[in-house]
């Protein structure tokens, strides 16, 4: 099963990178999981260098939108981790500090096997309404700019925008705006 997460890593200068990443996990355990990352990903570069990070479970759709749109007014609140150097987000449902145990290239992607070394239980999962689900789906689509044809992304974004406008609150509408602006800015470059 793929769970959409936010991953924090450190680059070679100690700067934090936050990125949405789908984690392949067994439904009954977070002890081990897998990432399948594209070679040009900053998250991949950081994980290949440091071999550690923090995986965050959250229902905050704005985190996904800000990470994809690279629109931060300073990073969100973070705190020190127990067993890895990467910092962890405050106020998330859960955080799993992890180490990369194995890497393998498979076609266009690099597969990273990871092992959890510390778990932090946070706010508990409040759930997704339809707008939050739509924001996460839109973030995934916008992250595929340059990989998928712009027309295909646009065709899938339109119905998601309707869902956000019908069922979202101010935070979801603001997250949608960030993603729409990134798409408009980078489509057909």
DSSP H or E segment with residue 134:
helix 130-142
Class level of CATH domain 2-121: mainly beta
- Provide the whole-model pTM: 0.86
How far apart CA 66 and CA 119 sit, in angstroms, is 24
Question: What confidence score (pLDDT) does residue 16 get?
Answer: 96
Domain map (residue ranges) of the chain? 2-121, 130-186
Determine the pLDDT at residue 70: 79
- Residues 52-108 have pLDDT tens digits of 999 999 988 999 999 988 778 888 999 999 999 999 999 999 999 999 999 999 888
Look at residue 31 in the predicted model and tell me its pLDDT: 96
Query: Looking at residue 189, what is its pLDDT?
Result: 64
Task: State residue 128's pLDDT score.
Answer: 62
pLDDT at res. 4? 92
pLDDT digits (tens, 9 = 90+) for 9-21: 999 999 999 999 9
User: Which residues sit opposite 111 in a β-bridge?
Assistant: 36, 104
- Those residues whose C-beta lies under 8 Å from the C-beta of residue 70, and which sit 6 or more positions away, are 182
End-to-end CA distance of the chain: 34
Helices 130-142 & 170-186 angle (0-180, nearest 10)? 20
pLDDT band at 188 (very low <50, low <70, confident <90, very high): low
Comparison of pLDDT for 128 and 161, the residue scoring more: 161
The CB density around residue 118, as the number of other CB atoms within 10 Å, is: 14
Between CA 149 and CA 145 the distance in angstroms is: 7
Q: What is the mean pLDDT of the chain?
A: 92
């Amino acid at each position: 099963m793929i769970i959409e997460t936010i991953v924090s890593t450190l680059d070679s200068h100690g700067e934090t990178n936050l990125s949405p990443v789908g984690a392949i996990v067994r439904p009954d355990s977070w002890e081990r999981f897998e990432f399948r990352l594209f070679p040009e990903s900053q998250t991949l570069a950081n994980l290949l260098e440091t071999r550690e990070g923090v995986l965050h479970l959250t229902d905050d759709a704005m985190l996904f939108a800000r990470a994809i749109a690279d629109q931060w007014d300073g990073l969100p609140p973070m705190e020190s981790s127990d067993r890895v150097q990467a910092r962890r987000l405050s106020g998330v449902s859960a955080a799993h500090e992890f180490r990369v145990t194995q890497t393998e290239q498979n076609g266009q992607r690099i597969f990273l096997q990871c092992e959890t070394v510390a778990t932090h239980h946070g706010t508990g999962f409040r759930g997704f309404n339809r707008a939050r689900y739509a924001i996460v789906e839109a973030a995934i689509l916008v992250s595929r700019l340059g990989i998928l044809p712009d027309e295909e992304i646009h065709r899938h974004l339109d119905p998601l925008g309707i869902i956000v406008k019908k069922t979202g609150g101010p935070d979801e509408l603001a997250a949608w705006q960030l993603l729409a602006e990134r798409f408009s800015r980078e489509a057909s470059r």
